[in-house]
Structure 1
């Protein structure tokens, strides 16, 4: 079966926003004399903002309501984005290759739609992707398959006809459950994650671009 579309995760895969997200969470909880450990943040990667907030709230026994925690983190993250959005190595080469092959592509991100559109807009990608599925648009976040199923549906392509690119364990599990062929490109934070079911693992998007036709 030939894959005809690509489903991209965003944070940690297309853009190096995980450090910005972590600093935003740390800024918020620091006001309550709490810290975000490496282990705790590692468990947050790939989750929706609401789920990350609930995890932080429980683990750090914060008195701040979850909704307020989300609002403050979102505000801090938007301020951080004003400094620019760093892209992951090989992103532009891969997107050019995807489009040269006539493949449609979508973004399936745990990030809320407002923030996702802000990030993609700053990269000048609005109009290039065929669809966007965001974390606040589905009933269940990763590792449930909902985001990838929605992204494929909005592209008008069956999930089995999609190649999904992920950097996190929950994201990999979600894409596998959706029925896509999954390629993982781990970050330093996620390199020890469980990538069961992944078709292949790469060190960067640049290598994915080189092998793209074979991966389809």
Structure 2
């Protein structure tokens, strides 16, 4: 049986193209510890792969009545801006090479992220990835967050490609289910939170660098 062929790629961003999940998690842990209500790394796993509105009730419940989510989130934002505002988050291993391979062969690429669009563009701009992308879709542009398919469907629409002809790359189960619900096949590269055994992606790999060997079989360019 021949490998499936695709016409476009849609990437998640945080924890997939850029190594942002760890710094963001660490900032939440630091800020809440200083405020006297320390979150743990395990606590933060509950919001991996979700958008702001989904994270709000989960984190507010952990913070309790003494701290407001929006206040803590603003402190976290300022801390991250101080540390990464000029340099950006580091690209994940293999991300630059993967985007380069696809760009050289004219494969349309997009991003579908729960992060809000202006912040997506800022983060990807700082690492130089925006010129390799033909479409970007953010969590603030859709009604329903991941695991609903809205943001992936929007990215495919902006690319002008049938979702069934798009190959998605994700690091979380929540995001993978969103891409699958959009009709896409998914390659999973886990970051902080490996997906459950019930997920059935096209492939699961340890790094985006491992993807390069499979690309000729997926794209007839």
Structure-1-length-normalised TM-score: 0.91
The aligned counterpart of 1:199 is 202
Aligned-partner SS, 1:124: coil
| Structure 1 residue 68 displacement after superposition | 3.1
Q: Write the deviation string for residues 158-191 of structure 1: whole angstroms up to 9, x where unpaired.
A: 110100000011011111111101000012x222
The aligned counterpart of 1:26 is 29
Change (3 A) 1:98 1:161: same
Distance in 2 between the 1:121 and 1:4 partners?
Answer: 24
| Structure 1 residue 196 displacement after superposition | 0.9
The aligned counterpart of 2:111 is 107
- Indicate the larger mover: 22-31 or 2-11: 22-31
- Which consecutive residues of structure 2, in runs of 5 or more, have no partner in the other structure? none
1:186 aligns with 2:164: no
Given that residues 8 and 106 in structure 1 are in contact (C-alpha distance below 8 angstroms), is that contact kept between their aligned partners in structure 2?
A: yes
- Indicate the larger mover: 69-78 or 38-47: 69-78
Aligned-partner SS, 1:127: helix
1:151 aligns with 2:155: yes
Aligned-partner SS, 2:66: coil
- Which consecutive residues of structure 1, in runs of 5 or more, have no partner in the other structure? none
The aligned counterpart of 1:210 is 213
Pick one of 166, 170, 173 that aligns with 2:174.
170
The aligned counterpart of 2:100 is 96
Q: CA RMSD in A?
A: 1.9
Given that residues 166 and 172 in structure 1 are in contact (C-alpha distance below 8 angstroms), is that contact kept between their aligned partners in structure 2?
A: yes
Aligned-partner SS, 2:5: coil
| Structure 1 residue 213 displacement after superposition | 2.5
Aligned-partner SS, 2:147: coil
Q: What is the aligned residue count?
A: 215
Structure-2-length-normalised TM-score: 0.89
The aligned counterpart of 1:16 is 19
- Indicate the larger mover: 190-199 or 2-11: 190-199
The aligned counterpart of 1:77 is 80
| Structure 1 residue 125 displacement after superposition | 2.1
The aligned counterpart of 2:125 is 121
- Indicate the larger mover: 30-39 or 5-14: 30-39
